[in-house]
Structure 1
Amino acid sequence: MVTPSTPGDKEKVVSKLPSWLRQDLKVRAAQLGVDIQDAVSQAIEMWRATPERLTPIDTTGGVSWSSWLPPGKWADLKATCAQREIPLVQGLAQSVALWLRENSTPAARRYVRRVIVCNQKGGVGKTAVAAGIAGACAEGDNLKVLVASAAVALLSDGAIGAADVADDANELDSEDEVHPGLGLRVLLVDYDPQGHLTNQLGLATIGIDEPSLAKYMAGTEKRGSVRDLVVTLDDDRFGGRLDVVPSCADAFLLDIMISTDRNRQATLERVLEPLEADYDVIVIDCPPSLGVGMDAAIYYGRRREEEEPGNSGVLIPVQAEDSSADAFELLLEQIESGQADWRIEVDYLGLVVNLYDARDGYVITSSLEAWKAMEEPRVIGVIGRLKDQREAVRNKRALVAYAPSCQQAKVIRRIAREIV
């Protein structure tokens, strides 16, 4: 049906469309920022210009549909339908389906993965987990790497001899999976003024009078940019794909330095955002703190507009002990209050139970079970208290480069694959 109009006006048309087609048209037009009436007008022109016969569409049970079209557009559609000997409803359905096919869903905006490794309790192994994740992501895709099976990744693999773990380390090895390295471009940020990450990787800390991440966040540094701080880790295993922003002791004053910023929770993002296009993953090794600087890290890891859930978020290393559980509750309170205050969503990438050894007794094993019983965030890996990580630190190398076949490296690769 067509409602008459005055010359030059659009005319209202009423017909029927399958409900699914009408809904797809509505959603796609909104995604592309196109008025539905313009989309239908384009659809009719495209269909009439298509010489081949298109696959018939089931229009049974079509629902009422209306729009405004330029004068004569509907008449042109009716004439072409008559020429092709198909019903008007079928011609309209084919037109809309053709437009949908030729105007696909716009690609989702690509966001670099931002992994915020945090816990306000010190000594839980945040730095080891952050460096391990970064190294596992940057390993060359031309390498064959060993990854612990999902079952082994959740076992207490630091406690050989415990009831729930194989008696022989070789039996654990039989659970390995062989994969190519991920080969991702990674930026690892030492956000902790103590500089453990920088020291563990054998890099020099930034001098107190030199440009630093904290100074750029505070807006007090006018020389150069944060890009000048980036150091590439010199290790063939990473092929130049693993970069580091070293620590500077001035970050001890970060909370004071950014406290007067009008939008202080966004200070870390303002500094790192210009680098994001250069990387696939950015890993932030956070300090054991619940201050303003930690707020900035949490905000940086929030889910951005149109970002896929779980693309970025917080990864929380913990230990199987009561004090770690208490600290975890304080961190959750900070994250939850930040979400409410800033009206954002922060995804939990998971928990990593670190430095675990079942031989330490019932308190440890029962704490692990308590962590595993949590539904959100869930445990995505258990890393044993083994010597390889300590040796890697002593030798100033990343774990996956120093001992690529050790059990800790295999589990950390499994964790990396869980979050990227």
Structure 2
Amino acid sequence: MSVSRVIKAVSKLPRMGSPHDREKVVSKLPSWLRQELKIRAAQLGIDIQTAVEQGINHWTGLASTPATVDTAGASPFSTWLPQGQWDTFKATATDRKLSLIQGLAQSVDVWLQNNPSPAIKRPEVVRRIIVCNQKGGVGKTAVAAGTGEAMAESSEQLHPVRISKHFAAALEGVADDPLNLESLPGIGLRVLLVDFDPQCHLTQQLGHTPLPMEGDSLTKHMAGVADGRLRDLIVPIQEERFGDRLHLLPSCTDAFLLDVKLAGVRAREAALERALSPIEAEFDVIIVDCPPSLGLSMDAAVHYGRRRDNEPPGSSGSLIVVQAEDSSADAYSLLTTQIEDLRGDLDLELDYLGIVVNHYDARRGYIATSSLQAWMDIKDPRVVGVLGDLKEQKEAVRLKRPLLAYAPSCDQAVGLRALAREIS
């Protein structure tokens, strides 16, 4: 979702109406029904007050009374309705010998039945996101994992999202404080995280064991000497908030030998695609956590992230993770040179999805702030996320849990959700 689409979604989220054309009404609703109403309204991009208005209109027009709704534990609920609608509603409830609480609950329930959750919009061609930088230690693994987690969160739940700080100017006028958290439904996509780094950081950070050297591995599939199906190596990330939507292809330390093995492989730049193509239909997004390398394995990753026939621009491509310091700029230059060479040599359509400035801390002074500005001044690729250097990520790594499961409301988590929407 682009910034403009995020702004549009934010502007449509529940807000209070104006007393000049609506009247405030107070009643009660059970918490479960209020939560369903809040989620469904956010999914459909309309105000809660509009949903209640539509529900009451439909309910008052029914020829017979709907089934009774369990209102046990109802708590105060207020909204703004058109002038006179609440009086009509109260008269109808009296005629039907119902309490106002029961009538309102039925009205909301009717609206929910008439406005089902929208289906997840799945890409026609699996999206392939290559998270890369030749420099180690910039946080590629954390960004790859967090982006995948954000894309896999349930669309039937609301999650806190904050637009990245550098987009504050674009949000001006949408809200009094553009950095307020917004509750948005999860993206709900089926995601595969591919640990393409022989150091196995992604595998270990998510609580799994690297594949044994003597067994099957992605390296062996790329080299054409696999013993079984790649599908059998994939493991689920078992956290309730991701359902069955988030999976991992673990790494193996034999990936240290990948460049040597690829040297003798036919059309070696297509080796990663040949290995992953049998399982692509099972996922909406495949995110590859690349090694800090400019070798043949990186060539294969770049080739895999190219734009395919009938694929819209910006759906797949490279996501470059940097830090707000000078050495990241040097590594970035080497990486983009390699990408541009491959674009020309192999005639690839490879899109830059953007730059993520990670581990940013303005308290580090001029070097950090001036480096961030230098990244912001690059227009192609543009900066699509700025993530802070915060303790929750380190704690999640220590506990071997996904960040968005360990600390779903922390600043990094809400920033990663914004990043996932920005490149969607």
Q: Say yes or no: TM over 0.5.
A: yes
**Residue 418 of structure 1 aligns with which residue?**
422
**Residue 334 of structure 2 aligns with which residue?**
330
Separation in structure 2 between the aligned mates of residue 371 and residue 214 of structure 1, nearest angstrom: 34
**Residue 241 of structure 1 aligns with which residue?**
245
SS of the residue 1:237 aligns to: helix
The answer to whether residue 134 in structure 2 is matched with residue 130 in structure 1 is no
CA contact (8 A) 1:121 1:327 kept: yes
| Structure of larger gyration radius | 1
Q: How does 1:246-285 map to 2 (within 5 A)?
A: 246-285=250-289
**Residue 44 of structure 1 aligns with which residue?**
none
The answer to whether residue 359 in structure 2 is matched with residue 340 in structure 1 is no
Q: Deviations over 1:50-98 (max 9, x none)?
A: xxxxxxxxxxxxxxxxxxxxxxxxxxxxxxxxxxxxxxxxxxxxxxxxx
SS of the residue 1:309 aligns to: coil
The answer to whether residue 301 in structure 2 is matched with residue 301 in structure 1 is no
Q: Deviations over 1:342-386 (max 9, x none)?
A: 111110000000000011111111000000010010001100011
**Residue 287 of structure 1 aligns with which residue?**
291
CA contact (8 A) 1:322 1:367 kept: yes
* Pairs aligned (count): 297
Q: How does 1:173-188 map to 2 (within 5 A)?
A: 175-188=180-193
Write the letter of the residue equivalent to 2:132. Answer: C
SS of the residue 2:210 aligns to: coil
**Residue 201 of structure 2 aligns with which residue?**
196
Separation in structure 2 between the aligned mates of residue 310 and residue 396 of structure 1, nearest angstrom: 32
Q: Which runs of no fewer than 5 residues in structure 1 stay unpaired? A: 1-107, 156-170
Equivalent residue for 2:380, pick from 365, 376, 382: 376
| TM-score for both structures, normalised by structure 2 | 0.68
The answer to whether residue 394 in structure 2 is matched with residue 390 in structure 1 is yes
Write the letter of the residue equivalent to 1:190. Answer: D
After superposition, the Cα gap between the structure-2 partners of 1:172 and 1:275, relative to the gap in structure 1 and judged at 3 Å, is: farther
Q: Which runs of no fewer than 5 residues in structure 2 stay unpaired? A: 1-121, 170-175
List structure 1 segments (4+ residues) > 2 angstroms apart after TM superposition.
149-155, 171-174
Write the letter of the residue equivalent to 1:116. Answer: I
SS of the residue 2:241 aligns to: coil
CA contact (8 A) 2:319 2:356 kept: yes
After superposition, the Cα gap between the structure-2 partners of 1:361 and 1:174, relative to the gap in structure 1 and judged at 3 Å, is: closer
Report the Cα offset of residue 174 of structure 1. 5.8
Report the Cα offset of residue 326 of structure 1. 0.3
Separation in structure 2 between the aligned mates of residue 183 and residue 395 of structure 1, nearest angstrom: 25
**Residue 57 of structure 1 aligns with which residue?**
none
Write the letter of the residue equivalent to 1:393. Answer: V
The answer to whether residue 144 in structure 2 is matched with residue 139 in structure 1 is no
CA contact (8 A) 1:152 1:175 kept: no
Report the Cα offset of residue 173 of structure 1. 9.3
Separation in structure 2 between the aligned mates of residue 207 and residue 317 of structure 1, nearest angstrom: 29
| TM-score for both structures, normalised by structure 1 | 0.69
Separation in structure 1 between the aligned mates of residue 130 and residue 408 of structure 2, nearest angstrom: 24
Report the Cα offset of residue 226 of structure 1. 0.7
Write the letter of the residue equivalent to 1:272. Answer: L
Separation in structure 2 between the aligned mates of residue 133 and residue 217 of structure 1, nearest angstrom: 25
Q: Deviations over 1:19-68 (max 9, x none)?
A: xxxxxxxxxxxxxxxxxxxxxxxxxxxxxxxxxxxxxxxxxxxxxxxxxx
Equivalent residue for 2:217, pick from 191, 194, 212: 212
Equivalent residue for 2:407, pick from 378, 403, 406: 403
SS of the residue 2:340 aligns to: helix
Separation in structure 2 between the aligned mates of residue 281 and residue 248 of structure 1, nearest angstrom: 22
Write the letter of the residue equivalent to 2:200. Answer: G
CA contact (8 A) 2:162 2:179 kept: no
Equivalent residue for 2:162, pick from 148, 156, 175: 148
After superposition, the Cα gap between the structure-2 partners of 1:200 and 1:152, relative to the gap in structure 1 and judged at 3 Å, is: same
Separation in structure 2 between the aligned mates of residue 408 and residue 176 of structure 1, nearest angstrom: 12
Report the Cα offset of residue 149 of structure 1. 2.4
After superposition, the Cα gap between the structure-2 partners of 1:154 and 1:285, relative to the gap in structure 1 and judged at 3 Å, is: farther
Percent of aligned pairs with the same amino acid: 57
Write the letter of the residue equivalent to 2:367. Answer: V
Separation in structure 2 between the aligned mates of residue 330 and residue 293 of structure 1, nearest angstrom: 15
After superposition, the Cα gap between the structure-2 partners of 1:276 and 1:154, relative to the gap in structure 1 and judged at 3 Å, is: farther
